[in-house]
Structure 1
Amino acid sequence: MPRLRLRFLVCCLTLSLGAVLSSVAQEARQETQEESATRRNLSAIEAQLPLLEQEQKSMAARRADLEKSLTDEEKTEIEREITEKRARIREIRANIRSLASGVPEDSWAREPSAPRTLNEEFQDVLSPILEQLRSATSGPREISELREDITNWETRLTLAQRALERMTGYPPDEQLGPEMATQLEEVRKLWETRRTEAKGELEALQARLAERENDNEGFVESLSRGVSGFWRGKGLNLLLSILAFLGVFLIGRRLHALLRRHSPLHKRENVPVYARLLDLLAGLLIGLFATFASLLVLYFRGDWLLLSIATIVIAATVIASRNSILPYAEQIRTILNLGSVREGERIFIDGIPWKVETLGFYCGFRNPQLGDFVLRLPIREVIGLRSRPLQRKEPWFPCSEDDWVLLSDGVFGKILTLTPECVVLLQLGGSRRQYAIPDFLALAPENLSKGYRISTSFGIDYNHQAIATTEVPEILVRGIHRALVASVERENVKSVKVEFRSAGASSLDYAILADFSGEVARSRNILERVIQRTCVELCNEHGWGIPFTQITLHQATPPPSEA
């Protein structure tokens, strides 16, 4: 234990010493940054002073020229230049004051903000986070503008230096005429003035940029400060108002539940109508008291803006509640068989056709091919649907129970169970497959119980080409029909056709078409095999060859040298 205490004390001393050293280092670093910023500001102010003196001398010279001017045009031009010089002098003095104080000059002379509209105040209340995000980016936007100004003045300084370098390439004044020398001297002085101005502006902008970068707080700090400010003001008032509403509402509901539990009217088997009306009135009063409590909190907090907005929202809700009568009117119309869904018509629900049996608060729908199942839906779910009159011989479903179907994926079987939700298919051999109704319909079931056709093909050798279109089809028809009649009853074989289809790559192909009644739908696969077996037996009986796929190889003749 003593060792643990000693280690604990050592750790505490180490942490304390580290904290002290860190704070000392931070203070020293802050003092160094302040000294560096002071030196930088003084250097920028020194760069502004010659520029100010130069602009003042230039303005005095132009005033002297104004007194000597003779024409109105000259006076107007000189007055315009004097106005520009005066504005430039004010700008330089504002820069000096900003660099000396560290406060932008325009922040003191800011005009009072115009009164905000109700819409703007409403946006301030409902979207404070967005407002804080916009204010949080004001610092980075100002830094970006300063950097853009620095880039522009650097470009101007480069142009001024380039112009002065070009001026040094001209001959001396002795080699030029007096007028030419005077003009060139004026141009040189102009570009020297512009270079001095560019240097002063660059130093001032760079000092302001460094100061803004040091003073700019991070995005997280700015956002946190804005959110905390909101919750100390309107956010707190809004939270207290919501809590007052929930407290009164929950307490009222609890008291109402206790009254219902001990009320003799609610203990009856059939609750009277006036008891239901009293329950409805109690619910309305609880809502009104809860709303009044929330408004009362805003009133005592003196938040007139939120109080006004809450009053407007409540009034709009009351006005809009009148429109809620329209859906009930539509339901009444539907119950009276005057709406878009009417009894005895056909309607599609979830991709299945239904016949509208009854209309009421719960509507009944029936599909004649789905057995005795009745689909019941509340009247509100029927609103918006459309029905249409029935058409003669219109199918209700592709199949019924005990029908044999062939699906597009090759599955063949008997409908064992058929409900509005699923289909159970019994395959040969006893296995069962279950499909949801949409999946079953997507497989395009072919109902064989109403009659079907077997279409197959068969080919013989090219050695029998002479009788391929005359004797062979007749012999195949007679033989296949005889074999099919022997397998099933004659009345179930409706027709048998054999037609020459094409001359294939290695055989003469025939199309065999056999139509059957739905009574022998179960034997579809058996009958297809009977047809192929009979074709082979007829070939054996008449000596017809059955071809197989052949590949012919051509061997190239080798050159004489290789031979």
Structure 2
Amino acid sequence: MIVRGLILFIVLGWLPGLYAQPAADASVAAETAAPASPEEVLQTLLEAINKIEAERVQLKRQVKRTSDPAAAQQIEAQLEALDRDLQEMKNLFEETATGGLSLSALVHKPKEASFNWQRELEEIARPIFDELKQLTERPRLMERLKSERAVYEDRLQIARSAIAELEDAIAQTEAASVKKALNVLFEQWQDQRESAERRLQRIHAQLQRLSAPSNEPGKELAAKLQEFASGRGLNIVLAISGFMLIYLLLAGLERLFGRLNSRRHEPGTRRMARVAILLFRTLAIILSMFTAILVLYVRDDWLLLGLLILLTIGLVWGLQKSLPRYIKEIRILLNMGSVREGERIVYQGIPWKIVSLNFYTLLHNPLLHGGGLLRLPIDRLIDMQSRPYAPDEPWFPSQEGDIVILDGDVFGKVLLQTPETVQMQIMGAITTFSVESYLAKNPRNLSRDGFAVPITFGVDYQHQNVILSEIVPTLRAYLQEQLVQQPFHPHLKTLLVEFNEAAVSSLNLLVVAIFTGAGAEDYWSIRRFLQRTAVSACNQYGWIIPFEQVTVHLPPAQPLLPSARHVG
């Protein structure tokens, strides 16, 4: 404790005299005492060091002689305190002798501060806020002056009221001592009023200067634009130019690499090429961004540099949250995902062949107009799945020029089919369907692999004995004879006439005419011909065409009424 008091006395008393610095916390005696010479200070410090070392030696001897653990622990604590005091005295002696320098600064390395990302981010963002403060300095200064003006106007009003009250009190006071005290107080309030008036004058002058419009606003605007063009505007142009130059240069090298590699068709080679292209594009973006940052760093534009760094950090943070989705896209891009090149995929109800996988995937359907090509972003393929396909699998229910039937009764010719719409000629008019609605109508293609026209024709039960032996072969021969005279006869493949069923009121025959796709336009003509020819055969050979019979049973109480009635 004595040594610490000595150190405090030297620091607060003698050292201020040595360096000629005022000591605010020293005692009155220390302030009035004559400053010590450097030699006296060093002598005093050396004596203190010797005393501490002697005390240490004595305490070490006591530790060796004592047998009480508690007493030994207490002495050890005193030794540690003396060691700290001794080191402080030695440092103080050294700094006094060298004028404030110390060997410890050369021997000990400065302790590195721990990394704090918030502090580092503040250091990056500080130039941005400093620049924003400069941009808004004038309006903020005006607001501060207006607020200060209101405060001093209030003070001036209070001072004037107090002075008026004091003048009345002085005029009414008789006692000399009271009047003297009032005069002193009066002078103090006058000083406050004058101070408020002077401050208000300065505030009014500053506000008037800040609010005064420029005499030449055009020249001022031109000067500001010129300053921006030669300063920050030029920095923006250089940074963007550097970014675009590096990116376009590396993109050109990537295209050259892709063309050289496109001649190879080995699967392993193409996969490695995709990996190389992906790494190349990532490197291009990183180098381009680094070039922009380097340009702003060389130009000493810390505002734009801070904004660019914060933008980069924001982009990286956003990529971190969507990383799983990007991993899926990368797998697809490398032909290792659920969608693979050369396979078949269904997109919006239409099958497509995946021609090439890239950031924009190329799909192809050979039966659609305009080459049937569709360019699709790779993110659309994440939740899809492709599969290998057989060579004979259909790519669309129809082709342009085909005859189709929609929903079993809409007959028309396909004029145009694209990835979005299908145009058909129906009853002489052009009708447009979306691909989804067209496929939903279950189109039946008559032109692709041919078609069949079936009809059911019945004869009366009185021909039951000859239906199989005479009517079926006779009707077949009659139909074949009449078909020869029709324009669609060359497209006929097969004609079937068979007994179909024994219905309630007729014996039904089934007539089926099978044609090639070339006769699809005569579909309804063929159907009408078969019906017409069957009736003509019945007329020629006397076959009775039955009509539907309905039997009505009446109660026995009315015998005069007929028991059955035939309704045709």
Question: Which category describes the TM-score, using the shorter chain as reference length?
Answer: 0.3 to 0.5
Looking at both structures, which has the greater relative contact order when contacts are Cα pairs under 8 Å and sequence separation is at least 6? 1
- Using the size of structure 2 for normalisation, the TM-score is 0.45
Bigger Rg, which one: 2
